[in-house]
Chains A and B, each alone.
Chain A
Amino acid sequence: MTQLHLCLLISSALFCIGLAGALARSNTILVLLGIELMLNAANLNFIAFWRFGPSPAHATGVIFVIFSIAIAAAEAAVGLALIISLYRHQRNIRLQDAVRLKG
Protein backbone atom coordinates (compact mmCIF):
# COMPACT_ATOMS: atom_id res chain seq x y z
CA MET A 1 0.00 0.00 0.00
CA THR A 2 1.53 3.25 -1.08
CA GLN A 3 1.05 6.63 0.53
CA LEU A 4 -1.32 7.59 -2.26
CA HIS A 5 -3.60 4.72 -1.21
CA LEU A 6 -3.45 5.95 2.38
CA CYS A 7 -4.36 9.51 1.37
CA LEU A 8 -7.25 8.28 -0.76
CA LEU A 9 -8.53 6.12 2.09
CA ILE A 10 -8.41 9.10 4.46
CA SER A 11 -10.27 11.29 2.02
CA SER A 12 -12.93 8.63 1.40
CA ALA A 13 -13.41 8.35 5.17
CA LEU A 14 -13.87 12.12 5.37
CA PHE A 15 -16.33 11.99 2.48
CA CYS A 16 -18.37 9.27 4.19
CA ILE A 17 -18.44 11.16 7.49
CA GLY A 18 -19.78 14.18 5.63
CA LEU A 19 -22.29 12.06 3.74
CA ALA A 20 -23.60 10.36 6.86
CA GLY A 21 -23.83 13.69 8.66
CA ALA A 22 -25.65 15.36 5.79
CA LEU A 23 -28.14 12.49 5.62
CA ALA A 24 -28.64 12.01 9.34
CA ARG A 25 -29.01 15.47 10.79
CA SER A 26 -32.21 17.45 10.56
CA ASN A 27 -30.53 20.77 11.25
CA THR A 28 -29.98 22.65 8.01
CA ILE A 29 -26.66 24.16 9.11
CA LEU A 30 -25.24 20.73 9.89
CA VAL A 31 -26.38 19.41 6.52
CA LEU A 32 -24.55 22.28 4.83
CA LEU A 33 -21.46 21.56 6.92
CA GLY A 34 -21.60 17.91 5.91
CA ILE A 35 -21.59 19.00 2.28
CA GLU A 36 -18.60 21.21 3.01
CA LEU A 37 -16.81 18.19 4.48
CA MET A 38 -17.45 16.25 1.28
CA LEU A 39 -16.00 19.11 -0.76
CA ASN A 40 -12.94 19.09 1.47
CA ALA A 41 -12.51 15.39 0.83
CA ALA A 42 -12.45 16.11 -2.90
CA ASN A 43 -9.78 18.77 -2.32
CA LEU A 44 -7.70 16.24 -0.38
CA ASN A 45 -7.85 13.97 -3.41
CA PHE A 46 -6.63 16.72 -5.72
CA ILE A 47 -3.64 17.40 -3.49
CA ALA A 48 -2.88 13.71 -3.03
CA PHE A 49 -2.89 13.02 -6.77
CA TRP A 50 -0.76 16.10 -7.39
CA ARG A 51 1.76 15.10 -4.74
CA PHE A 52 2.03 11.42 -5.60
CA GLY A 53 1.16 11.56 -9.29
CA PRO A 54 3.53 10.50 -12.03
CA SER A 55 4.15 13.91 -13.60
CA PRO A 56 3.89 16.77 -11.11
CA ALA A 57 5.53 19.31 -13.39
CA HIS A 58 3.01 22.08 -12.93
CA ALA A 59 1.14 23.33 -9.90
CA THR A 60 -2.11 22.01 -11.36
CA GLY A 61 -3.38 20.34 -8.21
CA VAL A 62 -2.78 23.40 -6.07
CA ILE A 63 -4.53 25.68 -8.56
CA PHE A 64 -7.48 23.30 -8.78
CA VAL A 65 -7.75 23.34 -4.98
CA ILE A 66 -7.62 27.14 -4.88
CA PHE A 67 -10.48 27.44 -7.35
CA SER A 68 -12.41 24.77 -5.50
CA ILE A 69 -11.97 26.63 -2.19
CA ALA A 70 -13.28 29.80 -3.84
CA ILE A 71 -16.37 27.99 -5.12
CA ALA A 72 -16.90 26.38 -1.71
CA ALA A 73 -16.73 29.77 -0.01
CA ALA A 74 -19.37 31.15 -2.38
CA GLU A 75 -21.52 28.08 -1.77
CA ALA A 76 -21.24 28.43 2.00
CA ALA A 77 -22.20 32.11 1.86
CA VAL A 78 -25.26 31.48 -0.29
CA GLY A 79 -26.26 28.43 1.75
CA LEU A 80 -26.09 30.26 5.06
CA ALA A 81 -28.01 33.20 3.59
CA LEU A 82 -30.70 30.73 2.49
CA ILE A 83 -30.75 29.27 6.00
CA ILE A 84 -31.21 32.70 7.57
CA SER A 85 -33.97 33.47 5.09
CA LEU A 86 -35.62 30.13 5.93
CA TYR A 87 -35.39 30.94 9.63
CA ARG A 88 -37.05 34.31 9.05
CA HIS A 89 -39.82 32.54 7.23
CA GLN A 90 -40.65 29.58 9.43
CA ARG A 91 -38.92 30.45 12.72
CA ASN A 92 -36.86 27.28 12.83
CA ILE A 93 -34.32 25.60 10.60
CA ARG A 94 -35.54 22.01 10.71
CA LEU A 95 -35.36 20.42 7.29
CA GLN A 96 -38.57 18.47 7.85
CA ASP A 97 -40.52 21.67 8.27
CA ALA A 98 -39.25 23.20 5.05
CA VAL A 99 -41.77 21.50 2.79
CA ARG A 100 -43.18 24.47 0.92
CA LEU A 101 -41.63 26.31 -1.98
CA LYS A 102 -44.19 29.09 -1.74
CA GLY A 103 -42.74 32.21 -0.18
Chain B
Amino acid sequence: MTAILAFIALVMLGSAAAAMISRNLVHSALLLALSWLGTAGFYLWAGADFAAFAQVIVYVGAVSMVVLFAVLLTRQNPVGDVLVEPASRKRSTAALSVGACVAAVLSAAVMSSSFPPASVAAPTATVKQIGLELMGPYGAALLIVGVLLTVALLGAIVLAASEPERNPEDAP
Protein backbone atom coordinates (compact mmCIF):
# COMPACT_ATOMS: atom_id res chain seq x y z
CA MET B 1 0.00 0.00 0.00
CA THR B 2 2.76 2.41 0.93
CA ALA B 3 4.85 1.30 -2.04
CA ILE B 4 2.02 2.25 -4.39
CA LEU B 5 1.71 5.59 -2.64
CA ALA B 6 5.45 6.17 -3.02
CA PHE B 7 5.27 5.40 -6.74
CA ILE B 8 2.30 7.74 -7.22
CA ALA B 9 4.06 10.49 -5.28
CA LEU B 10 7.21 10.00 -7.33
CA VAL B 11 5.31 10.38 -10.61
CA MET B 12 3.29 13.34 -9.35
CA LEU B 13 6.09 15.33 -7.73
CA GLY B 14 8.71 14.42 -10.33
CA SER B 15 6.65 15.49 -13.29
CA ALA B 16 5.46 18.65 -11.51
CA ALA B 17 9.06 19.65 -10.73
CA ALA B 18 10.20 18.83 -14.25
CA ALA B 19 7.34 20.91 -15.66
CA MET B 20 8.31 23.88 -13.54
CA ILE B 21 11.97 23.57 -14.56
CA SER B 22 11.51 22.85 -18.27
CA ARG B 23 12.21 25.67 -20.66
CA ASN B 24 9.90 24.30 -23.32
CA LEU B 25 6.32 25.32 -22.60
CA VAL B 26 4.73 22.45 -24.52
CA HIS B 27 6.78 19.97 -22.52
CA SER B 28 5.70 21.76 -19.35
CA ALA B 29 2.03 21.46 -20.24
CA LEU B 30 2.34 17.76 -21.07
CA LEU B 31 4.33 17.03 -17.91
CA LEU B 32 1.68 18.82 -15.88
CA ALA B 33 -0.97 16.60 -17.45
CA LEU B 34 1.11 13.65 -16.21
CA SER B 35 1.25 15.21 -12.77
CA TRP B 36 -2.53 15.65 -12.70
CA LEU B 37 -2.86 12.02 -13.75
CA GLY B 38 -0.71 11.18 -10.73
CA THR B 39 -3.10 13.17 -8.56
CA ALA B 40 -5.98 11.13 -9.97
CA GLY B 41 -3.99 8.02 -9.10
CA PHE B 42 -3.70 9.28 -5.54
CA TYR B 43 -7.47 9.74 -5.36
CA LEU B 44 -7.96 6.19 -6.66
CA TRP B 45 -5.47 4.95 -4.09
CA ALA B 46 -7.41 6.68 -1.33
CA GLY B 47 -10.68 5.20 -2.51
CA ALA B 48 -12.25 8.37 -3.91
CA ASP B 49 -13.10 6.98 -7.34
CA PHE B 50 -15.51 9.71 -8.36
CA ALA B 51 -13.02 12.47 -7.53
CA ALA B 52 -10.36 10.61 -9.54
CA PHE B 53 -12.56 10.45 -12.63
CA ALA B 54 -13.58 14.08 -12.21
CA GLN B 55 -9.88 14.97 -11.99
CA VAL B 56 -9.09 13.01 -15.15
CA ILE B 57 -11.97 14.54 -17.10
CA VAL B 58 -11.54 18.12 -15.92
CA TYR B 59 -7.76 18.43 -15.57
CA VAL B 60 -6.19 15.86 -17.87
CA GLY B 61 -8.90 16.25 -20.47
CA ALA B 62 -10.01 19.85 -20.42
CA VAL B 63 -7.61 22.13 -18.57
CA SER B 64 -4.49 20.67 -20.17
CA MET B 65 -6.03 21.12 -23.63
CA VAL B 66 -6.91 24.74 -22.83
CA VAL B 67 -3.37 25.28 -21.55
CA LEU B 68 -1.90 23.74 -24.70
CA PHE B 69 -4.05 26.00 -26.86
CA ALA B 70 -2.97 29.03 -24.86
CA VAL B 71 0.68 27.99 -25.21
CA LEU B 72 0.37 27.57 -28.95
CA LEU B 73 -1.58 30.80 -29.40
CA THR B 74 0.92 32.89 -27.46
CA ARG B 75 4.16 31.24 -28.54
CA GLN B 76 6.82 33.47 -30.00
CA ASN B 77 9.86 31.42 -30.83
CA PRO B 78 9.47 27.68 -31.10
CA VAL B 79 12.64 26.89 -29.17
CA GLY B 80 11.40 28.72 -26.12
CA ASP B 81 13.05 31.56 -24.27
CA VAL B 82 16.65 30.49 -24.49
CA LEU B 83 18.39 33.46 -23.00
CA VAL B 84 18.51 33.55 -19.23
CA GLU B 85 19.03 37.00 -17.87
CA PRO B 86 20.69 37.56 -14.51
CA ALA B 87 17.52 39.01 -12.95
CA SER B 88 15.66 35.82 -13.78
CA ARG B 89 18.44 33.75 -12.24
CA LYS B 90 18.29 35.83 -9.07
CA ARG B 91 14.52 35.46 -8.92
CA SER B 92 14.77 31.71 -9.37
CA THR B 93 17.18 31.47 -6.46
CA ALA B 94 14.90 33.54 -4.27
CA ALA B 95 11.87 31.48 -5.29
CA LEU B 96 13.68 28.23 -4.60
CA SER B 97 14.72 29.38 -1.15
CA VAL B 98 11.18 30.57 -0.38
CA GLY B 99 9.84 27.20 -1.52
CA ALA B 100 12.38 25.32 0.59
CA CYS B 101 11.57 27.44 3.65
CA VAL B 102 7.82 26.89 3.24
CA ALA B 103 8.45 23.17 2.74
CA ALA B 104 10.52 23.03 5.91
CA VAL B 105 7.86 24.88 7.92
CA LEU B 106 5.05 22.70 6.56
CA SER B 107 6.87 19.42 7.13
CA ALA B 108 7.85 20.45 10.64
CA ALA B 109 4.22 21.33 11.37
CA VAL B 110 2.97 18.04 9.91
CA MET B 111 5.54 15.93 11.72
CA SER B 112 4.97 17.59 15.07
CA SER B 113 1.20 17.28 15.05
CA SER B 114 -0.62 14.17 16.13
CA PHE B 115 -3.89 13.22 14.54
CA PRO B 116 -6.71 11.14 15.98
CA PRO B 117 -6.41 7.55 14.83
CA ALA B 118 -8.11 6.65 11.59
CA SER B 119 -11.33 4.72 11.72
CA VAL B 120 -10.97 1.01 11.25
CA ALA B 121 -13.15 0.75 8.18
CA ALA B 122 -12.08 2.67 5.12
CA PRO B 123 -14.75 5.17 4.13
CA THR B 124 -16.66 4.47 0.98
CA ALA B 125 -18.27 7.03 -1.28
CA THR B 126 -20.38 5.39 -3.91
CA VAL B 127 -21.66 7.46 -6.81
CA LYS B 128 -25.19 7.00 -5.51
CA GLN B 129 -24.24 8.39 -2.11
CA ILE B 130 -22.44 11.34 -3.68
CA GLY B 131 -25.40 12.04 -5.94
CA LEU B 132 -27.86 11.94 -3.07
CA GLU B 133 -25.70 14.30 -1.02
CA LEU B 134 -25.23 16.68 -3.96
CA MET B 135 -28.96 16.79 -4.57
CA GLY B 136 -29.90 16.95 -0.90
CA PRO B 137 -27.82 18.94 1.58
CA TYR B 138 -25.48 20.44 -1.02
CA GLY B 139 -28.14 21.40 -3.58
CA ALA B 140 -27.77 25.13 -3.05
CA ALA B 141 -23.99 24.90 -3.36
CA LEU B 142 -24.35 22.94 -6.59
CA LEU B 143 -26.63 25.63 -8.04
CA ILE B 144 -24.21 28.37 -7.02
CA VAL B 145 -21.29 26.53 -8.60
CA GLY B 146 -23.31 26.14 -11.79
CA VAL B 147 -24.01 29.87 -11.90
CA LEU B 148 -20.37 30.64 -11.14
CA LEU B 149 -19.12 28.36 -13.91
CA THR B 150 -21.51 29.93 -16.41
CA VAL B 151 -20.50 33.46 -15.46
CA ALA B 152 -16.79 32.59 -15.47
CA LEU B 153 -16.90 30.91 -18.87
CA LEU B 154 -18.93 33.76 -20.39
CA GLY B 155 -16.43 36.20 -18.91
CA ALA B 156 -13.55 34.18 -20.33
CA ILE B 157 -15.11 34.27 -23.80
CA VAL B 158 -15.68 38.03 -23.56
CA LEU B 159 -12.11 38.58 -22.36
CA ALA B 160 -10.47 36.41 -24.98
CA ALA B 161 -12.65 37.26 -27.96
CA SER B 162 -12.78 41.04 -27.81
CA GLU B 163 -10.14 42.68 -29.96
CA PRO B 164 -8.94 45.96 -28.41
CA GLU B 165 -8.79 48.90 -30.77
CA ARG B 166 -5.21 50.04 -31.13
CA ASN B 167 -3.91 53.53 -30.71
CA PRO B 168 -1.77 54.63 -33.65
CA GLU B 169 1.12 55.62 -31.37
CA ASP B 170 0.81 52.31 -29.56
CA ALA B 171 1.55 50.24 -32.60
CA PRO B 172 4.45 47.82 -32.25
Q: Which residues of A contact B (CB under 8 A)?
A: 1-10, 12-27, 29-30, 33-34, 36-37, 40, 43-44, 47-48, 50-59, 61-63, 65-67, 69-78, 80-85, 87-89, 91-93, 103
Contact = CB atoms under 8 A, between A and B. Distances in A.
24 contacts: A7-B42, A9-B111, A15-B102, A16-B99, A17-B13, A19-B95, A24-B96, A25-B20, A29-B67, A30-B20, A33-B19, A33-B67, A47-B42, A56-B123, A62-B125, A63-B134, A65-B43, A72-B63, A77-B66, A80-B156, A80-B160, A84-B159, A84-B160, A85-B162
Looking at chain B's contact residues, the main secondary structure is helix
Nearest to B98: A23
Looking at chain A's contact residues, the main secondary structure is helix
Nearest to A58: B133
A24 B92 contact: yes
Interface residues of B, number: 82
A2 B118 contact: yes
B82 interface: no
Given A2-B115, A5-B111, A23-B91, A76 B67 contact: yes
Nearest to B122: A51
Given A65-B54, A81-B160, 8 more contacts: A18-B20, A29-B25, A44-B39, A53-B118, A59-B133, A62-B48, A74-B149, A80-B156
Nearest to B88: A26
